Protein backbone atom coordinates (compact mmCIF):
# COMPACT_ATOMS: atom_id res chain seq x y z
CA UNK A 1 0.00 0.00 0.00
CA UNK A 2 1.30 3.41 -0.88
CA UNK A 3 1.63 6.27 1.54
CA UNK A 4 -1.56 8.31 1.24
CA UNK A 5 -0.45 11.38 3.13
CA UNK A 6 2.62 13.52 3.44
CA UNK A 7 2.97 15.45 6.67
CA UNK A 8 4.85 18.73 7.04
CA UNK A 9 5.66 20.51 10.26
CA UNK A 10 6.91 24.08 10.63
CA UNK A 11 8.05 25.76 13.81
CA UNK A 12 8.26 29.55 14.18
CA UNK A 13 10.03 31.26 17.06
CA UNK A 14 8.95 34.86 17.73
CA UNK A 15 10.90 37.71 19.35
CA UNK A 16 8.80 37.49 22.51
CA UNK A 17 9.93 33.88 23.02
CA UNK A 18 6.66 32.28 21.90
CA UNK A 19 6.69 29.26 19.62
CA UNK A 20 4.13 28.50 16.89
CA UNK A 21 3.89 24.93 15.56
CA UNK A 22 2.04 24.38 12.27
CA UNK A 23 1.20 20.93 10.95
CA UNK A 24 0.01 20.37 7.39
CA UNK A 25 -1.20 17.14 5.81
CA UNK A 26 -1.11 16.74 2.04
CA UNK A 27 -2.89 13.88 0.28
CA UNK A 28 -0.33 12.30 -2.02
CA UNK A 29 -2.83 10.45 -4.18
CA UNK A 30 -3.69 13.75 -5.92
CA UNK A 31 -0.32 13.44 -7.66
CA UNK A 32 -1.09 9.81 -8.53
CA UNK A 33 -4.48 10.79 -9.98
CA UNK A 34 -3.00 13.51 -12.16
CA UNK A 35 -0.34 11.13 -13.45
CA UNK A 36 -2.88 8.43 -14.32
CA UNK A 37 -5.36 10.86 -15.89
CA UNK A 38 -2.94 11.45 -18.72
CA UNK A 39 -2.80 7.72 -19.52
CA UNK A 40 -6.54 6.94 -19.21
CA UNK A 41 -8.06 7.25 -22.69
CA UNK A 42 -11.61 6.72 -21.42
CA UNK A 43 -11.51 10.09 -19.66
CA UNK A 44 -10.94 12.14 -22.83
CA UNK A 45 -14.22 14.04 -23.38
CA UNK A 46 -15.47 13.49 -19.81
CA UNK A 47 -12.36 15.10 -18.40
CA UNK A 48 -13.24 18.34 -20.16
CA UNK A 49 -16.91 18.13 -19.08
CA UNK A 50 -16.21 17.83 -15.36
CA UNK A 51 -16.97 20.97 -13.38
CA UNK A 52 -13.97 22.97 -12.32
CA UNK A 53 -12.74 22.14 -8.87
CA UNK A 54 -13.44 18.40 -9.16
CA UNK A 55 -10.82 15.80 -9.84
CA UNK A 56 -11.55 13.26 -12.55
CA UNK A 57 -10.41 9.91 -11.13
CA UNK A 58 -8.88 7.52 -13.69
CA UNK A 59 -10.01 3.91 -14.02
CA UNK A 60 -7.42 2.54 -11.59
CA UNK A 61 -8.86 0.11 -9.04
CA UNK A 62 -6.06 0.46 -6.47
CA UNK A 63 -6.23 4.24 -6.55
CA UNK A 64 -10.03 4.30 -6.24
CA UNK A 65 -9.96 1.82 -3.34
CA UNK A 66 -7.35 3.97 -1.58
CA UNK A 67 -9.63 7.00 -1.87
CA UNK A 68 -12.64 5.03 -0.59
CA UNK A 69 -10.67 3.59 2.35
CA UNK A 70 -9.42 7.03 3.33
CA UNK A 71 -12.89 8.58 3.03
CA UNK A 72 -14.42 5.84 5.17
CA UNK A 73 -11.79 4.87 7.71
CA UNK A 74 -9.76 8.00 8.30
CA UNK A 75 -9.88 9.28 11.89
CA UNK A 76 -11.27 12.51 10.44
CA UNK A 77 -14.09 10.82 8.48
CA UNK A 78 -15.93 9.29 11.46
CA UNK A 79 -17.10 6.25 9.42
CA UNK A 80 -19.93 7.86 7.37
CA UNK A 81 -22.84 5.96 5.86
CA UNK A 82 -23.00 5.44 2.09
CA UNK A 83 -25.05 8.53 1.26
CA UNK A 84 -22.86 10.92 3.25
CA UNK A 85 -19.72 9.33 1.93
CA UNK A 86 -20.96 9.69 -1.66
CA UNK A 87 -21.96 13.35 -1.14
CA UNK A 88 -18.57 14.17 0.39
CA UNK A 89 -16.62 12.41 -2.36
CA UNK A 90 -18.84 13.81 -5.13
CA UNK A 91 -17.89 17.35 -4.11
CA UNK A 92 -14.23 16.64 -4.87
CA UNK A 93 -14.09 13.74 -7.33
CA UNK A 94 -15.82 12.56 -10.47
CA UNK A 95 -15.89 9.08 -11.94
CA UNK A 96 -18.65 7.42 -13.95
CA UNK A 97 -19.21 4.73 -11.33
CA UNK A 98 -18.62 6.66 -8.09
CA UNK A 99 -22.09 6.01 -6.60
CA UNK A 100 -21.91 2.26 -7.32
CA UNK A 101 -18.36 2.00 -5.96
CA UNK A 102 -19.30 3.78 -2.73
CA UNK A 103 -22.41 1.61 -2.31
CA UNK A 104 -20.42 -1.61 -2.83
CA UNK A 105 -17.63 -0.44 -0.53
CA UNK A 106 -20.03 0.39 2.32
CA UNK A 107 -21.93 -2.88 1.77
CA UNK A 108 -18.72 -4.83 2.50
CA UNK A 109 -18.10 -2.94 5.76
CA UNK A 110 -18.72 -5.18 8.78
CA UNK A 111 -18.55 -2.26 11.23
CA UNK A 112 -21.41 -0.51 9.43
CA UNK A 113 -23.74 -3.48 9.93
CA UNK A 114 -22.71 -3.95 13.55
CA UNK A 115 -23.62 -0.39 14.58
CA UNK A 116 -26.47 0.29 12.13
CA UNK A 117 -29.76 1.26 13.78
CA UNK A 118 -32.73 -0.93 13.05
CA UNK A 119 -35.68 0.99 11.64
CA UNK A 120 -38.52 -1.30 12.65
CA UNK A 121 -41.68 -0.58 14.61
CA UNK A 122 -41.61 -1.95 18.15
CA UNK A 123 -42.81 -5.54 18.15
CA UNK A 124 -45.22 -4.97 21.04
CA UNK A 125 -45.61 -7.03 24.19
CA UNK A 126 -43.58 -10.17 24.48
Residue 20 in this model has a pLDDT that exceeds 80 = yes
| Residue 32 included in any domain | yes
Range of the domain at 15: 8-115
Overall average pLDDT of the 20-33 stretch: 75
Give the rounded percent of residues in the chain with a pLDDT score beyond 90. Answer: 6
Task: State pLDDT tens for residues 63-95.
Answer: 898 888 888 877 666 677 888 889 988 888 888
Overall average pLDDT of the 58-65 stretch: 88
Number of independent structural domains in the chain: 1
Exposure letters 70-86 (e unless 16+ CB within 10 A, then b): bbbeeeeeeebebeebb
Nearest to 35 by CA among 8, 55, 5: 55
Is the pTM here over 0.75, yes or no? no
| Residue 26 included in any domain | yes
Domain containing residue 103: CATH number = 1.10.340
More confident residue, 29 or 7: 29
More confident residue, 9 or 75: 9
Q: Evaluate whether 71 touches 85 at the Cβ level (below 8 Å).
A: yes
Give the rounded percent of residues in the chain with a pLDDT score beyond 70. Answer: 66
Task: State pLDDT tens for residues 116-126.
Answer: 656 666 666 76
| Residue 120 included in any domain | no
Amino acid sequence: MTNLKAMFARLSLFDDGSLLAELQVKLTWIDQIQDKQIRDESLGLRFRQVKSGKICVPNDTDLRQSILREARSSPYAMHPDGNKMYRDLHKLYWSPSLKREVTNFVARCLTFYQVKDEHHLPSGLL
